Copies of this chain bind each other. A is one copy, B any other.
């Protein structure tokens, strides 16, 4: 069989960026300056890495940014008071709270505090419910939204297709399933308790792997000609970044596959930026 096409995130991100630059210009011409505020507690490595990417992306599009770095030992009351201040600040249109939060902060309480209309990465239950309802007035989480954007960009028609989502987290698996269902796919959600997992995933026209286990998806998991979206970001035995899919062994079997790095991860900050602008427009009736 012909080798599968490696479908990169960059062209998708570039196209979104182009569209957003125009939208920002139009907003600025009306005196509106879209702004993202990132709320970070402490200085965890992966938060900092994502933050750098997000700031760079926003900057290149013309979105203002601010980072609230809060002390690692911040109390729940102080954290909530910070979020409320940003909720009420008309200059900020989108808020990204890095999670998981440290132990003393109760996410189950805090998620109700962030203003749903500024909650651009689906922390608030109001936005989670909208994802489930297929209500596009809300904000879906950036990573599963990036999955759908990539599929659309590369012309993968989802209507009636068998899509298998491997993983059932609230960050990726479940919202991805709901977003793909909304695109009229027939969606199956698999997980650690699924029996004969390889037989189930082998039915997939489109396989979305989001389990966080390095290279666990092997050749026998894949139907000939399937499209594979690899959401995992793991470190392999040699210390290199890798996905949930063993790309080397499946690449001759698939029709398209996203790489890791350079796949889904390169699109998430573009979705973040897109959501900031959507929030900004909604808040300004623009």
Q: How many Å from the CB of A127 to the closest CB on chain B?
A: 8
Which of B178, B186, B195, B200 meets A191, CB within 8 Å?
B186
Report which residue of A125, A126, A131 has the largest number of chain B beta carbons within 10 angstroms of its beta carbon: A125
Whether A78 is near chain B, meaning CB under 8 Å from some CB there, is: no
Which of B133, B168, B181, B194 meets A128, CB within 8 Å?
B133
Q: Is the CB–CB distance between A188 and B191 below 8 Å?
A: no
Instruction: Label chain A's interface by main secondary structure.
Output: mixed
Output the nearest chain B residue to A158 by Cβ-Cβ distance: B193
Q: Is the CB–CB distance between B161 and A195 below 8 Å?
A: yes
Quickly give the copy total for this chain: 2
Known contacts: A125-B125, A129-B125, A133-B170. The answer to whether A194 contacts B189 by CB under 8 A is: no
User: What size tier do the contact residues of chain A reach?
Assistant: 20 to 34
Residues of chain A at the chain B interface (Cβ within 8 Å): 108, 112, 125-126, 128-133, 135, 159-162, 168, 170, 174, 177-178, 181, 184, 186-191, 193-195, 200, 203
Q: How many Å from the CB of A267 to the closest CB on chain B?
A: 23
Q: Is the CB–CB distance between A189 and B190 below 8 Å?
A: no
